[in-house]
Structure 1
Amino acid sequence: MKTLKSALLATALALPLAGPALAETPPGLLVVAQNIDDIVAIDPAQAYEFTSGELVTNLYDRLVQYDAEDPTVLAPGLATEWQADAEAKTITFTLRDDAVFHSGNPVRAEDVTGSLARVIKLDKTPAFILAQLGWTPENVDEMVTAEGNTVTIRYEGEFSPAFVLNVLAARPASIVDMATVMENEVDGDMGNAWLNENAAGSGPFSLQMYRPAELVRLQANPDYFKGAPKIEGLILQHVAEAATQQLLLEQGDVDMARNLTPDQIASLSAEGIKVETFPQAAVHFLSFNQKTESLTPPAVWEAARYLVDYTGMTDSIVDGQMEIHQAFWPKGFPGSYDETPYSYDPEKAKQILDEAGIDTPITVSLDVINAAPFTDMAQSLQASFADAGINFEILPGTGSQVITKYRERSHEAMLLYWGPDFMDPHSNAKAFAYNSDNSDDAYAATTTWRNAWAVPEEMNEMTRAALTESDPEKRLEMYRELQKKTQEDSPIVVMFQASYQVAMDEDVSGYVNGATSDFVFYRLVEKD
């Protein structure tokens, strides 16, 4: 019997439901303990936090979207089909006729055009994702137009239609019920204040209750065009302390705990609890600044790939948090290159350095964020690289200190991680395989520029060509080849991909947690 020993959680459960507080979590209701105090905004035009991304995904739809059945496949959303004209730089979408907003209003072409234009005109933080398409407040009404049940998207720039589709699958491209939103406009805010307390979507769940830093309650949408969710509703209960989350889960007061530490995961003792692991989009890397002369020979880059104790770290200090991945685009998304040809081999590394005439020892400062597991990883690298005469002097600092040095190109070696802005391979290709101007005054938010690596023009051209390639499968193969080249010949050594562990009652199934917070899906969840 699951007893609700937490008064706070009992209150959360009792308030939305009729009748007395229940003595166990209801069969049709999923109760999740989670830290949700990161939410600043839930309006899709403004939402930019991890938890708000999860909410937007479950409350709204997009023209095309990655979905719960397979988060690696870009599937029809509010559009049933689309036709791209790469020469004319247009994509025309045909809308489905069975999509309805939670208000009961049908989803219209005017809602699509209004929603996309609204993001650009409000110009909140995530607007830059759509603005890549050449949209401005002045031209967006001409760039996104409707006729009948079709919407035509026009874009500027040399982009593949596949790139444009991935932009349109991003969070700010969520479609809102414009009639409802504009009824709640205040002082020309296009309903922004209202949408940060309410929702106006067509997604698998509707927003029943939202109390910032306290709880979120979602109710299943029985009229969802892909079929009603398998659970009746969902509660995200704010529980900041991971230890409290563990206690609630082990007592049976919640069905899922989302923020347990690796140590807590390892210490779970109650029967009937399982742990599922999900690959995440962030990749962790070691990089060498090319302003440091001793780090410029390609032989140093190649040797470094054999001096990382990949297995040793994943079996110990990053167990459950990371998995071995050696390419810049994360595993689990179209275009990923999942070969891992490098393993710890100090003898091979020494041979590479000797044959290239590299004098050792080499002393290098290594900047690292002063927090677990990064400091532990740095110490592992320090030990394994010393085997080949490369001696790291670890320089721990706060996240802001480390990133500031990186942006200034004042580091020597750097241990850091990188995540895409949206789920298109170009988002990481431009960061790891492109740098057309390596001058100090040509700042670029990329790992290549920050490491002062003048990327060979051949590789720059490959990156540009992949961005514009109109054949989707050929485009993905071009990104795989680009990853293979950077894996073999780059001063940036990708080592791991982050993983995320979620502990839950063994009766829970169907939970989907993709590589980013935008890919958390509850529609297929069941409780036996």
Structure 2
Amino acid sequence: MQLKALTRTISVAAFLGATALTTAAAAQEQKTITGGFDVGPGGFQGNFNPLAATGGFTWLNVYFEPLVNYNADLTAIDGALATEYSVNADKTEYTFKLAKETWHDGKPFTSKDVKFTVDLAKNGETGTVFAARLNAVSSVETPDERTAIIKLSRPDAGFLATLTKLMILPEHALAGTTPKELATSTWWATKPVGTGPFKFKQYVTDQYVELVADDDYRLGRPKVDRVINRYFKNTAAAVAALRAGEIQFTYVEPDDVAVFKDNKDFHVIEGQSFVVNYLGFNQQVPLWKDVRVRQAVMHAIDRQAIIDSLYGGAATAANCGYVAKQLVPEGLNPYQYDPAKAKALLAEAGWDKINGNKPVTWLTYYNTPQAANVMAAVQAMLAQVGINVVPRVVDTPTYNGIIYAGNPDFSQFPLVYAGLQNGPDPLGINIGLNAAQKPPAGANFLRIDMPELTKALDAALAETNPQQLDARYQDVCKAMNANLPWATMWVANRYGVASTKLKDFVWVPAPAGGPYSAHPEKWSIEK
């Protein structure tokens, strides 16, 4: 299968502005794009280790590269460091032909780097989030410098999608560091070496990251000299910087869109988030063991009212992990807003004895004004039926530290408000729901172990007939709807705003920031 490069520019976003973050006169004259690349749900400020990244791929993909990548429409997987690939008949052997490229320090990129990266990504000591996602990989063979063969012990329908997030790392630069040391190494934020169009120059703690053009990039020298990723405490601060001309791009909340919509100096980018938001029930606490309690939570929340009033209608209610029509079967329980039914279900389940109206910590990493309003509305609705939740908002690193702790204190997150991608690969939700993905193997931090759901997910993973996949995903949807591992809320649209000074710039509101083929080497900016 030939991997075709993206041949047209998707002007769905905008990026960084020409802010002067250095004082040297020469630097002032350089063409610079500056922006808030890690602002919003798809970002991950302060994370430099792609093995541990649960977001922020919009930025990481500017200086690191995976073997394969989604196109900017998120409709197909194209080549990045692999120029083409082939798959054997039973979908257990992938052969990648590799691009001729050099690392930013001048060393050649070879198949040994692919094997090194996959082996690291499978090793839990590195802090990787890929261990369970790659557990079907049995070996990586390197018959020559330009060929890597990855063999699987079983078919995995989500394998290529997983590879889009696996940034290839340099063996020569990291082989001397133990996997355990890599998890906390300063290398990632001080001297990382990638193959992308821009090279790492510096990180000024909690302020910005600066990259410079790679003159020898295989697809041509970038059109701008520098790309700078500025850090902001919140969306409002980034929006203020955008309006002031300090940056050229940032994610914005739906409420901010009106400010830019009719302004000729800006372009508003809107797209589907591919992320389902949910209330997640920690299965290690007794509160949620009875499915009637979980059903009561669904019936207690007026999802459509929240969508209409707080999302401006720019979201779709979800009755499982999916909202795409081809993935949602008929006959699902719609869990209509019905407080009386919620109260009755709680009474049947003996909620008073289970909880006694004690406050339930509701943990989240969503820290935007919109999220605060959403959580306040849900909190009030749950209180009306006798469920007393207390929101606790933390930053993403703190959140991950709590839920993925070696010996977690489950009382810190009996309930979460979170999101997980439901596309463009529908099997993206597997990592949060499959019993085999419980930590430390994977990202099922709620310790969900529902046999019907795991069976449906495993069947979808093993499906080798593309014509049957939608039916497999519908089975996953049915199992989610019946068992309620999460109280699924909605899939919302996301927005970015770009300065019209940016040309040939691509940004997509993709889950976790992508990655996707944005071709940063083509980005330019008018003075």
Under a length normalisation based on structure 2, what TM-score does the superposition of the two structures give? Answer: 0.69
Return the letter of the residue paired with 2:510: G
Q: 221-230 or 243-252: which moved more? A: 221-230
In structure 1, the partner of 2:316 is: 324
Q: Contact 1:95–1:109 at 8 Å: present in 2 too?
A: yes
Listed as ranges, the matches of 1:200-219 within 5 Å are 200-219=193-212
1:73 aligns with 2:76: yes
Of structures 1 and 2, the one scoring higher in RCO (CA 8 A, sep 6+) is 2
Q: 1:337 to 1:129 in 2, by over 3 A?
A: farther
Cα distance in 1 for partners of 2:123, 2:294 equals: 46
Q: Contact 1:100–1:202 at 8 Å: present in 2 too?
A: yes
Deviation at 1:495?
0.7
Listed as ranges, the matches of 1:11-410 within 5 Å are 11-12=20-21, 15=24, 18=26, 21=28, 29-33=32-36, 42=48, 44-45=50-51, 48=53, 50-51=55-56, 53-67=57-71, 69-85=72-88, 89-96=92-99, 98-103=100-105, 106-117=108-119, 123-126=125-128, 128-129=130-131, 132-133=134-135, 143-147=140-144, 149-156=146-153, 159-171=154-166, 173-176=167-170, 178-179=171-172, 181=173, 194=187, 196-221=189-214, 224=217, 231=224, 233-240=226-233, 244-258=237-251, 271=263, 272-280=265-273, 282-286=275-279, 296=290, 305=298, 307-318=300-311, 323-326=315-318, 329=321, 337=328, 345-346=336-337, 367-369=361-363, 376-377=373-374, 379-381=376-378, 390-397=385-392
Aligned residues: 483
Q: Contact 2:208–2:230 at 8 Å: present in 1 too?
A: yes
Deviation at 1:490?
3.0
Cα distance in 1 for partners of 2:410, 2:125 equals: 31
Which secondary structure does the structure 1 equivalent of 2:464 belong to?
A: coil
Return the letter of the residue paired with 2:420: G
Q: 1:296 to 1:244 in 2, by over 3 A?
A: closer
Identity %: 17
Which secondary structure does the structure 1 equivalent of 2:190 belong to?
A: coil
Q: 1:230 to 1:10 in 2, by over 3 A?
A: closer
Return the letter of the residue paired with 1:18: A
Which secondary structure does the structure 1 equivalent of 2:127 belong to?
A: coil
Deviation at 1:150?
1.9
Unmatched segments (≥5 aa) in structure 1: 1-7
Bigger radius of gyration among the two: 1
Q: Contact 2:197–2:221 at 8 Å: present in 1 too?
A: yes
Which secondary structure does the structure 1 equivalent of 2:210 belong to?
A: strand
Q: 1:428 to 1:129 in 2, by over 3 A?
A: same
Q: 1:86 to 1:422 in 2, by over 3 A?
A: farther
Return the letter of the residue paired with 1:48: A
Deviation at 1:203?
2.0
Cα deviation 1:333-389 (Å, max 9, x = unaligned): x99659998878557x868999x99869976756434876566445534665788xx
Q: RMSD over aligned Cα, in angstroms?
A: 5.3
Q: 1:522 to 1:315 in 2, by over 3 A?
A: farther
Unmatched segments (≥5 aa) in structure 2: 1-16
Cα deviation 1:82-124 (Å, max 9, x = unaligned): 333476943222224x444445555332332344345567942
In structure 2, the partner of 1:516 is: 512
Which secondary structure does the structure 2 equivalent of 1:246 belong to?
A: helix
Q: 1:444 to 1:265 in 2, by over 3 A?
A: same
Q: 1:128 to 1:303 in 2, by over 3 A?
A: closer
Q: Contact 1:292–1:412 at 8 Å: present in 2 too?
A: no
Deviation at 1:236?
1.8
Q: 1:339 to 1:448 in 2, by over 3 A?
A: farther
Q: 1:93 to 1:412 in 2, by over 3 A?
A: closer
Q: Contact 2:275–2:422 at 8 Å: present in 1 too?
A: no
Q: Contact 1:326–1:487 at 8 Å: present in 2 too?
A: no
Deviation at 1:516?
0.8
Return the letter of the residue paired with 2:513: S
Q: 1:503 to 1:437 in 2, by over 3 A?
A: closer
Q: Contact 1:34–1:245 at 8 Å: present in 2 too?
A: no
In structure 1, the partner of 2:491 is: 497
Q: Contact 2:215–2:221 at 8 Å: present in 1 too?
A: yes
Cα deviation 1:123-180 (Å, max 9, x = unaligned): 4212643784367xxxx9x644333532122344xx4243333333323x4243x45x
Cα distance in 1 for partners of 2:123, 2:208 equals: 31
Cα deviation 1:258-288 (Å, max 9, x = unaligned): 4x56666666699423443444454322466
Return the letter of the residue paired with 2:278: F
Cα deviation 1:312-331 (Å, max 9, x = unaligned): 212334559x7334155467
Which secondary structure does the structure 1 equivalent of 2:301 belong to?
A: coil
Deviation at 1:494?
0.6
Cα distance in 2 for partners of 1:217, 1:436 equals: 39
Which secondary structure does the structure 2 equivalent of 1:316 belong to?
A: helix
Cα distance in 1 for partners of 2:87, 2:220 equals: 28
Return the letter of the residue paired with 2:508: V
Which secondary structure does the structure 2 equivalent of 1:254 belong to?
A: coil
Cα deviation 1:44-94 (Å, max 9, x = unaligned): 45x53744x444312122222224x33342222222333334769432222
In structure 1, the partner of 2:456 is: 462
Deviation at 1:478?
1.0
Which secondary structure does the structure 2 equivalent of 1:116 belong to?
A: helix
Q: 1:160 to 1:274 in 2, by over 3 A?
A: same
Which secondary structure does the structure 2 equivalent of 1:30 belong to?
A: strand
Q: Contact 2:297–2:487 at 8 Å: present in 1 too?
A: yes
In structure 2, the partner of 1:474 is: 468
